[in-house]
Structures are given as structure tokens and as C-alpha cells.
Amino acid sequence: MSPDRAGVDSPRRVAAVRAPRLLETGPEEAFNRLTRLAAILLGTSMVALTVVDDVRSFLKGAPHPEAMTGRDGIYEAPVYDAACHVVIDAGDEICAPDVSLEPRLRDLPQIKEFEAAAWLGVPILDPDGYVVGNFCAMDRVVREWTDEHREALRGLALVAGGEIALRRALADAARATAEAERHAAEAEELAWTLQASLLPPRPPRLPGATIGARFEPGGTGVEVMGDFWDVVPVPGGFGLVVGDVCGKGAAAARTTALARSAVRTAVLGEPADGDGAAVLRTLNDVLLGWFSDPIFGGRVGFVSATYCTFRRPVAGGAWQVDVAGAGHPPGLVRRAAGAVEHLTGGGMILGLTPGAVVGSQRLELGPGDALVLYTDGVTEAHRVGDPDQFDETGLAAVLADLPAGTGPQDTAEALVDAARSRSDGRSPDDAGVVVVRIGNPDPTGR
């Protein structure tokens, strides 16, 4: 890599760091989510995403940033105290299974502060190839960083670079406000038109069950959502999928369309007694091929999903529901009497590694019971400057307080409204809720 694109003191590199205005705010959820995923894949909670100018290493993402930041919500360190400057100067990945054997790292104050015995760092590049930051993982014991660990961190660094590229584009757009507003109106109309083709136009009417759904885009409202849902007929009942695609825009729209199509194909290819775990494993295989296809551009992405199979009861019994989860937020059940139960969730995010691990759970739902599935834009809603999220507890409390007999559509509306209220209507993430209530409000079943 040329010296002007790496190197802590490179003026052009420093200008590239400051252009997206990343140094004006502390850790952000878009980056926190990437570090949480890295922590799962690498098996260590000591993960950080930093941007680096010529003076400081500035934290932009961590699995639990509140444990590192001060009252101002910021964590920074002198650039030459932090290990990330080694990656910035080298412009390349640094892998140290044993820090004591790496002279560039072992005596650094920050390495000693975190008691790091093993360290792995990957450069984050902007669209012009400048090293603007570092995605690193560390452990307090000497350990081997496998090829899979290193590849996973490289892939997530590419995603972080894409997010930073978006920030730079937004900063550039701010200097041309009038033109941006005109284009934003056109983009919003196009996004809603495209979104309509990626979500069911209305909840389907089903004998013995009623579905309600509400999905709201986050951010500026001009990006196509990455959240999706669909209903698929199966022998003796129906299948329901709710998912969340990494990112927004055209790439997310393509992945969303592929995911919905793959789920439908997998469901139709399963035997009548097939389980949802097989459906999600098939989706994982499809996504792995999709993200590695040169036509897609070699971009890294991932999808979380929950797939439920609803089986109609025999002789007036309860519905049987098999829930399969792949890294998606666990759902809730509201019983007819008003009690709210939390599902177990589980499983791994799809599209990153072969052999997806899928969580499973079996439920019984009787008349008046409702299953509530949602995306993380609901539970992670929070106000700017306030780290406290709406979370599953807040969602369950709102669900429990709804009047008896509240229909599924009104339930979905109320839950999304509550999440939007928690973020003052300015959430950067999409929010979606699907509610399946057993029994038709209309006794004729229309």
C-alpha cells in the first residue's frame, strides 16, 4: 500500500478520516452490531472498531461500549499508546497469537491496560483505499487465530468500510442540501414502490388464525428496508418467516428478494412433516453462494431469521407451532388471559459460515393466544444520547398492557408505535412486527 494511504501521519489519510465526520460522535449502534457479531464468531468479547487520525484512536464500536466510555459517551486514547496505530502504519493485517512475541505490540500502554495476551487487527479502508480505522479482537490468554477468524474479521471490516463510505457520502451531500432534498423525495417514492414488491401487500386471511403486520423504515426513509416477512402455505397449516438483511438500499433489496424466494422454495421442497430448521439451513446455503458470486461484487452480508410452522389442530385442540431461529431476536407469546411469555431464540446468523446452527422450540397456541415476532429495530430503539434501549422487557410490558381482545393488526401497530416513541421517531434502524392470533375475530372466518 502506498505511504500516503496508510501511515498515521499521512495528511491525505487523516483528511480521509475526518471527511465522514466520524470523530464528532462516540460509539454508534451500526458499528456496535458488527463488533457483537465479531465477538460471537471469534469467541471473545474483547472486540473494538476504531477510527484513527494523527493524534488519537477513537472508539466507534464495541459489544458493550458503555463499559468503556466516560460520561460524555466517548473513549479515546493517544494514537501511539493504542495497538491500532501498528495496523494504520503497516496498512495491513496484524496477527499476534502471543503478544509477548510481537515487539510492535507488547509494550504498548493500551495492550497492558486491557491485559491482552493475543491480538488480531484488520485495517478498515474508505472507498479510495485510505486506512481510516482498525477492526481488532484480543484475548487475555495466548490463542491461535484461525483462518476462519481472520476471514470473518476481514469481512466485517469491509462492511464497516461500506458504512463509513455512506457517512462520507452523506457529509458530501450536506454541502448540497437543495439538490439532495429534491433527489431524496424521488428516492423515497422509489423506495416505497420497491418495498411494496418485497413485502406482502396485506396480511393474508387464514382459516383459524389472523395475521397483523407493520414494518417501518429507519434512517432517512429513502432506503429500501432490510427487514422482511412472508407467509407460505404448507400441508395442514402455514409457514411464517421474519428476517433482517444486513444493510439497506439496492443490495439489501436484492438479498431480501433472494431470501424470500429461497424460503418459499425450501418450504415447498420439504415433506409435510419437515421442520423449519431445514428451511433455514437451505437459506444459509443459498446466501453463501449469493455473497460469493462475482456478480454480487464479493460483498459480505448476513441475514437473521425466524421461521415458524403452524399446524392446524385436530378435533378442536391447540395449534402446534414449531419455531426455528437463526440469530434473530426471540419472539413473544401473549396468552388469551393476558400473560406474556418469552421464546428462547438462539441459532447463528445466516450467510457467513457453512453448517448454520439453528435454534428450535415447540409451542402450543389456543384460541385467543398470539405469537409476536419482531426485528431488532424494535427492541434496540433508543433516544439520541440515551443508551437505554426499549429492549424485550419494554416490548413485553407494552404487549401485556394491551386490552384483552386487541386484534393482531392493532397489536402490531401499538408495538411499533411504542418503539418509535422511545426513539422520538428518529431510529436509524428499521422496525417490524408480525402478530399471529389464533381464532378469527369474525366468527364466519371471512
- pLDDT tens digits, one per residue of 4-19: 788 899 999 999 999 8
- Here the cell at position 75 is 473513549
pLDDT at 414: 96
For residue 145, the tally of other CB atoms under 10 A from its CB is 18
Helices 29-42, 147-174: axis angle to 10 degrees equals 170
Q: What is the pLDDT of residue 291?
A: 79
Domain 190-438, what fold?
Answer: Phosphatase 2c; domain 1 (3.60.40)
All cell numbers assigned to 254 = 436484492
What's the pLDDT at 222? 52
pTM for the full predicted model? 0.56
pLDDT beyond 70 at 312 = yes
What pLDDT is recorded for position 236?
86
The one-character DSSP state at 328 is: P
d(CA 177, CA 182): 9
pLDDT score at 444: 39
CA atoms within 13 A on the CB side of 381: 30
Pairing of strands 303-311, 340-342: unpaired
Query: Which pLDDT band, with edges at 50, 70 and 90, does 193 fall under?
Result: very low
pLDDT tens by residue, 74-99: 999 999 999 999 999 999 999 999 99
DSSP state of 70: -
- Mean pLDDT for all residues in the chain: 86
Q: Where are the domains of the chain?
A: 11-174, 190-438
What's residue 433's pLDDT? 95
In angstroms, the CA 28 to CA 338 distance is 36
In percent, how much of the chain has pLDDT > 70?
85
How much is the pLDDT for 270?
Answer: 61
366, pLDDT greater than 60: yes
Average pLDDT of span 256-267: 86
Q: Where are the beta strands (DSSP E) in 328-413?
A: 332-334, 340-342, 359-365, 370-374
From the CB of residue 346, how many other CB atoms can be counted at a distance below 10 Å? Answer: 17
pLDDT band for 59, please (50, 70, 90 cuts).
very high
Whether the per-residue pLDDT at 440 is higher than 90: the answer is no
Residue 238 near residue 231 (C-beta atoms within 8 A)? yes
- Is residue 319 predicted with pLDDT exceeding 70? yes
What is the CATH T-level fold of the domain 11-174, as seen in this structure? Answer: Beta-Lactamase (3.30.450)
Is the separation of the CB atoms in 381 and 422 below 8 Å? Answer: yes
Cα dist from 84 to 58, 76, 136, 353, whole Å: 10, 12, 8, 27
167-179 average pLDDT score: 71
